[in-house]
Amino acid sequence: MIKLTDVSKKYEKEMVLKKVSLEIKKGSIFGLLGSNGAGKTTLLKTMAGIYKQESGDLTIDKQTVFENPTLKQNVLFIPDLPFFFSQYTVKQMAEFYADMYKDWNQERFDNLQKVLDLEVNKKVARFSKGMQRQVAFWLTLCTMPEVLILDEPFDGLDAVIRQKIINLIIQDVADRNMTVIISSHNLREIEDICDHIGILHKGSLILEKDIDDLKSDVHKVQIAFKDVPTSLFESLDIVHQEKRGSVHLLIIRGNKEEIDQLIKQTNPIVYDLLPLTLEEIFVYEMGGVGYAIENILV
């Protein structure tokens, strides 16, 4: 388990992470969301033991990460701009990784060459941006990581490769109980892959939840009446409302069946109860901390 307790981090005088507390269970795929500059990369690099926090505790399986080379054998980080030695071919990079990582799996490396179909004797620097990212996944997955930390991992990958890489990650989670932390601005992707999410805003974690719980707790309702029953609006936990013509668009917190029952009793002439997408939840939660856009309902 990855456990952060009141983790704070600053660059010079600017406090970038503010008392972040979080637990990520083994075998979970955790999506880290947040506005630009929220501190996601800083948090990922701190979790990967690249940065040391100013205060607070950060452990993976009860061990401190920073300056712990043994633990780091199994905690791998792919940054948004993967790094390679400029003159090295893929094969030479693989030899370097094989020397560095005790669990290096050569058989997997050879198998993945067929999946990714990249030339091993070509200098990595000569590959395109998306191909270099594939090489980063290729090398990293062959170290058989227990924790995989990914910063904007699928940027620049085409849809086919993206799906191949997602499948490889999900397979490792299922087979080896690998833990994955992914930061991304692509909420649809996060919604598809992750089981938990956290939203970081200005260095503070403003929400952390199981995606299914999050979605079952908040609903979008479109509703119209002949005569508007004001008592209904009072009995619901409405967190946002708009009116378009005679149709009320509401975001309501609470149990779906109870909401449904209360609404149906009032005999609406138009009525739809829908789950919110992660994108809508994100925009709504960000609105709650003053990072809003108008008219989030569509």
Ligand X SMILES: Nc1ncnc2c1ncn2[C@@H]1O[C@H](COP(=O)(O)OP(=O)(O)OP(=O)(O)O)[C@@H](O)[C@H]1O
Q: Which residues bind ligand X (CB under 6 A)?
A: 11, 16, 34, 36-42
Rounded CA-CA distance 241/248 in Å is: 7
- Residue closer to ligand X (CB basis): 39 or 153: 39
Residue 226, Cβ density class (10 Å: 0-12 exposed, 13-18 middle, ≥19 buried): exposed
Rounded CA-CA distance 73/96 in Å is: 14
- Residue closer to ligand X (CB basis): 61 or 191: 191
- Residue closer to ligand X (CB basis): 40 or 196: 40
What is the closest distance, in whole angstroms, from the C-beta atom of residue 203 to ligand X in the complex? Answer: 7
What is the closest distance, in whole angstroms, from the C-beta atom of residue 64 to ligand X in the complex? Answer: 21
- Residue closer to ligand X (CB basis): 24 or 93: 24
What is the closest distance, in whole angstroms, from the C-beta atom of residue 18 to ligand X in the complex? Answer: 11
Do the beta carbons of residue 35 and residue 291 sit within 8 Å?
Answer: yes
- Residue closer to ligand X (CB basis): 55 or 63: 55
Which ranges in 63-158 belong to alpha helices (H)?
69-72, 90-100, 106-116, 129-141
What is the closest distance, in whole angstroms, from the C-beta atom of residue 32 to ligand X in the complex? Answer: 8
- Residue closer to ligand X (CB basis): 9 or 220: 9
Do the beta carbons of residue 160 and residue 130 sit within 8 Å?
Answer: no
What is the closest distance, in whole angstroms, from the C-beta atom of residue 198 to ligand X in the complex? Answer: 12
- Residue closer to ligand X (CB basis): 39 or 268: 39
What is the DSSP-derived secondary structure letter of residue 89? B
What is the closest distance, in whole angstroms, from the C-beta atom of residue 41 to ligand X in the complex? Answer: 3
Rounded CA-CA distance 279/290 in Å is: 17
132-147 b/e with 16+ CB inside 10 Å = b?
bbbbbbbbbbbbbbbb
What is the closest distance, in whole angstroms, from the C-beta atom of residue 180 to ligand X in the complex? Answer: 17
Dihedral, 243, 249, 252, 256 alpha carbons, nearest 10: 150
Please give the structure tokens belonging to residue 224. 């119209």
Please give the structure tokens belonging to residue 15. 């406090």
Do the beta carbons of residue 220 and residue 242 sit within 8 Å?
Answer: no
Angle between helices 129-141 and 159-176 (to 10 degrees): 10
Do the beta carbons of residue 199 and residue 254 sit within 8 Å?
Answer: no
- Residue closer to ligand X (CB basis): 132 or 183: 183
What is the closest distance, in whole angstroms, from the C-beta atom of residue 200 to ligand X in the complex? Answer: 7
